[in-house]
Each structure stands twice: as C-alpha cells, then as structure tokens.
Amino acid sequence: LGVLRPTRAGWPAGPPQNRCYGAAVRQLLPSCLPEVNAADTYLDGTRGPIGPRPWVLANMIASVDGATAVEGVSGGLGGAADKVVFRAIRAVADLVLVAAGTARAEGYHAPRLPPELVQARRDRGRTEAPRLAIVSRRLELDRSLPLFESGRPRPIIVTTTDAPADRREDLARHAEIVACGEIDVDLVEALTVLRARYSSDVVLTEGGPSLLGALTTAGALDEICLTMAPCLIGGDSRRIVHGAHPVPRTLALTHLLEEDGFLFLRYTRNSRR
C-alpha cells in the first residue's frame, strides 16, 4: 500500500502484515503497561491550532547512531512494529506535509489507512485519510511520480512565488498550488494558508531532514514522534533535523512505547522552558 519501494509506509511482506491491525505495543512511560493499542496512544485532544497556524507534528525514524536512511531511503530502518505506529500517527493528521526530496526518493503516494483507522476517523467526523502536500522550490515533480496517481483528492504543492512559472502552470492541472515566500517557502505562512484553505488543524510532517530543519528554524514544530530502530548504520545520512540554526529547544517526553526492540518516543515542545 502506498509505495513502490520498501519505505516505512509500505506493507511488510508475509505474516507480520497482520500485526498492522493487531496494533498492540508495550508502554514504558508515562506508566508501564504490558499491552496498549498504538493508535489510542497517539490520540490526543490537546493538539490544536497555534494562533492562525495548525499544530505541527513530525514523525521520523533513526537508527541508534542517528542515521535516517539506508541507501537513500528510510525503509531499511523500519519493521512491522514501526509500520503500526506510522499509521497510528497518520491517523491523527488532517494533512501530511513532505518535502520534495523525500517524495521523490521514497515514491510517495496519497496517504491511505487500514479500515479500522478509517472508521475511527469517520467516527470523529474526519476524512478517511489525511491529504498529501509536497514542499518544493524547483517544482521538478514529474507527472509519473506516484503522488499524482490516485487523482482525488489532488495533492497540494507548496512552493514559492519565484518558482518556475512553466512548471507551476503544468502542475496546476494536476495539483492544488499554494505559493508563499519568494526564495524559500515561508513555512509559517504556508501552514496558515493550509489550515484556512484545507481545514487542516493538525499537520503531520514526515520529513525529510531539510524540511524539518526549516520548520525548526521557523519555530513551527510542536511535537516530534521519533522511532529509534534497534540497529547501527554508520554512513553519512542526515540527522532527523538538518541545516537548522543551532538554537537548543527543550522538549517534554510525553510517552515511550516499545515493540520488538523499536523505541517509540513522543515529545512535545516544552512551553515551560
């Protein structure tokens, strides 16, 4: 589902797929519980707009030594347990925001969710799945990319007013275009537009590291869901946040889950420090 190559969004082959529906993981914090429903642990009524912009959460996976990709994609880091959590987090979002580098590398599709998460969203009066938005300056987004496949709802392309006009005109036939900022996308403005235009109170970003860097610099990350994969990778892939000005920001640990050696950490912006 959802990918051409083995990425975190892909269905695992064989029997472990069933565990995507079982969705049971161990909770270590805030209290120790031998079995919790992963989807329930990510439901949180406290997420809400920050002024005019939506709440922004990020979901990333890294190895114990901080690698975010193996041979250019994140799929080599994930496993069945990670896929359970990946979908649980998508289920809380109105919109999934991904940078063009990641959309191209990982063959992004429009997000889809398993039936029980679709039903849970319907019960809460939401759409079946979050909508996909891609951030790009250059607009080198080939029409053969999987993100254009499903057609409805059309993907949203978030770009700059200086983006190449011919590419913008071409993409506008297949996607909604939001243009904010001249050289770089003004992410706070873009998020504000996405909330107003597409009723997106909760935006999930799935990276990549450059986009998380820009969001960190803009002070627009409110929650970070980090999967620590039980492996060492080495190499020189980026950390989960790349290129941001080094301004330390403290975070508060909201929960810690464990399954099959994977740790699922959820942090929120620490408003007290």
Amino acid at 105: A
Residue nearer to ligand NAP on the CB measure, 138 or 249: 138
The answer to whether 167 contacts ligand NAP (rule: CB under 6 A) is no
Which residue carries 């849970």 as its tokens?
Answer: 120
Stretch that binds ligand NAP, among 14-22, 184-192, 246-254, 264-272 (CB under 6 A): 184-192
Stretch that binds ligand NAP, among 11-19, 46-54, 131-139, 147-155 (CB under 6 A): 131-139
Minimum CB distance to ligand NAP, residue 146 (Å): 15
User: In terms of DSSP bridges, do strands 131-135 and 95-99 run parallel, antiparallel, or are they unpaired?
Assistant: parallel
Stretch that binds ligand NAP, among 9-17, 30-38, 182-190, 251-259 (CB under 6 A): 182-190
User: In terms of DSSP bridges, do strands 55-63 and 223-229 run parallel, antiparallel, or are they unpaired?
Assistant: parallel
The answer to whether 184 contacts ligand NAP (rule: CB under 6 A) is yes
Which of 27, 41, 102, 216 touches ligand NAP by CB under 6 A?
102
Which of 23, 84, 91, 100 touches ligand NAP by CB under 6 A?
100
Judge contact between 55 and 205, C-beta under 8 A: no
**Which pairs count as long-range contacts for 102-106, CB under 8 Å and 24+ apart, including other chains?**
102/206, 102/207, 102/208, 102/211, 103/134, 103/141, 103/145, 103/147, 104/140, 104/141, 104/145, 105/69, 105/72, 105/73, 105/208, 106/3, 106/5, 106/7, 106/9, 106/73, 106/74, 106/75
With b for 16 or more beta-carbon neighbours within 10 A and e for fewer, the 189-203 pattern comes to: bbbbbbbeebebebb
Closest by CA position to 266, among listed 117, 47, 78? 47
Which of 73, 171, 204, 220 touches ligand NAP by CB under 6 A?
73
Which of 22, 52, 72, 230 touches ligand NAP by CB under 6 A?
72
Distance, CA of 74 to CA of 6 (rounded, Å): 8
The answer to whether 164 contacts ligand NAP (rule: CB under 6 A) is no
Hey, what are 151's tokens?
Answer: 């057609």
Residue nearer to ligand NAP on the CB measure, 126 or 214: 214
Residue nearer to ligand NAP on the CB measure, 127 or 146: 146
Distance, CA of 224 to CA of 244 (rounded, Å): 15
Q: Which of residues 133-152 bind ligand NAP (CB under 6 A)?
A: 135-138, 140
Minimum CB distance to ligand NAP, residue 270 (Å): 22
Q: Which of residues 192-211 bind ligand NAP (CB under 6 A)?
A: 206-211
The answer to whether 259 contacts ligand NAP (rule: CB under 6 A) is no
Q: Is the dihedral of CA 72, 163, 172, 130 positive or negative?
A: positive
The answer to whether 105 contacts ligand NAP (rule: CB under 6 A) is yes
Q: Which residues partner with 229 through β-bridges? A: 63
The answer to whether 223 contacts ligand NAP (rule: CB under 6 A) is no
- Residues near ligand NAP (CB under 6 A) are 60-62, 68-69, 72-74, 99-102, 105-106, 135-138, 140, 184-185, 187, 206-211, 214, 238, 242
